[in-house]
Amino acid sequence: MVLSAAGLPVSGAGEIAPTLSQCISMALKVNPDVRSASARLEAARAAIQEVSSAYYPQLGLSGSWTRTDNPPQAFFMSLNQRRASLQNDFNNPDAIENARGSIVAQWRVYDSGRREADRQVAKMGSQAADYTLDTVRNELVYQVTKAYFSILQARDFVAIQAAAIKSITESLRIAGERNKAGGAMKTDVLNLEVTLSQSHEDLIRARNGVQLAVAVLNTAMGRDWVKMSDVSALSYASESDATATNLQNTVESHPEWRAMEARIKMAEAMTTRARRDYLPVVNAFGSVDWDSEPFSGPERSYIAGAAVEMNLFDGFRNRAGLARATAGWVAAQADADKLKNMLILDLTQSRLNEQEARARMEVTQKSLASAEEALRIIQERYKQGAADISELMTAQVGLTATRSRQVAARYDGFVAKANVARAAGLLGNQYPEDGSQKSE
How far apart (Å, rounded) are the C-alpha atoms in residues 276 and 280? 8
Question: Is position 72 within any domain?
Answer: no
pLDDT at 326: 95
pLDDT at position 273: 93
How far apart are alpha carbons 77 and 304 in whole angstroms?
A: 20
Instruction: Give the per-residue pLDDT at 125.
Output: 95
Residue 426 resides in a domain: yes
Question: Is 425 part of a structural domain of the chain?
Answer: yes
Torsion of CA 202, 411, 421, 263, to 10 degrees: 0
For residue 377, is it within any domain?
A: yes
- Give the Cα separation of 348 and 57 in Å (integer): 54
pLDDT of residue 79: 86
The bridge status of strand 299-309 relative to strand 281-292 is: antiparallel
pLDDT in tens, the chain (440 residues): 344 545 555 554 446 788 898 899 999 999 999 999 999 999 999 999 999 999 999 999 999 999 998 988 888 888 888 887 777 777 888 889 999 999 999 999 999 999 999 999 999 999 999 999 999 999 999 999 999 999 999 999 999 999 999 988 988 888 888 888 887 788 888 988 898 999 999 999 999 999 999 999 999 999 899 999 888 888 765 444 444 444 445 688 899 999 999 999 999 999 999 999 999 999 999 999 999 988 788 889 999 999 999 988 889 999 999 999 999 999 999 999 999 999 999 999 999 999 999 999 889 888 888 888 888 888 888 888 888 888 888 888 889 999 999 999 999 999 999 999 899 888 887 775 544 454 33
Residue 98, in any domain of the structure: no
The answer to whether the CB of 336 falls within 8 A of the CB of 261 is yes
Q: What is the pLDDT of residue 329?
A: 95
Look at residue 188 and tell me if it is in a domain. Answer: yes
* Distance in angstroms (rounded) separating the CA atoms of residues 175 and 92: 125
Alpha-carbon distance of 430 to 303, in angstroms, equals 60
Look at residue 299 and give its three-state secondary structure: strand
Question: CB–CB of 107/58 below 8 Å?
Answer: yes
Is position 64 within any domain? no
Q: Note if the pTM is more than 0.95.
A: no
CATH number of domain containing 153:
1.20.1600.10
Q: Is residue 104 part of a domain?
A: no
DSSP letters along 295-361, please? TS--EEEEEEEEEEE--S-STTHHHHHHHHHHHHHHHHHHHHHHHHHHHHHHHHHHHHHHHHHHHHH
Distance between CA 261 and CA 270 in Å, rounded?
Answer: 14
The whole-angstrom separation of Cα 239 and Cα 415 is 11
Do 127 and 48 form a contact (C-beta atoms < 8 A)?
no
- pLDDT score for 204: 95
pLDDT at 314: 87
User: What pLDDT score does 249 carry?
Assistant: 54
Distance between CA atoms of residues 311 and 281, nearest Å? 10
Residue 428: name the closest of 73, 6, 3, 34 by CA. Answer: 34
CB neighbour burial string for 59-72, b if at least 16 within 10 angstroms, e if fewer = eeeeeeeeeeeeee
The C-alpha atoms of residue 400 and residue 54 are separated, in whole angstroms, by: 72
Provide the pLDDT for residue 135: 94
Q: Which domain holds residue 347?
A: 2-56+113-277+323-430
Cβ–Cβ < 8 Å for 257, 118 = no
For residue 1, the model assigns a pLDDT of 39
Give the model's pLDDT for residue 93: 84
In whole angstroms, what is the distance from residue 289 CA to residue 302 CA? Answer: 6
- What is the count of structural domains for the chain? 1
How many beta carbons lie within 10 A of that of residue 16, not counting itself? 9
The rounded distance, in Å, linking the Cα atoms of 353 and 359 is: 10
Q: How high is the pLDDT of residue 154?
A: 95
Give CA–CA dist 151/2, Å, rounded: 19
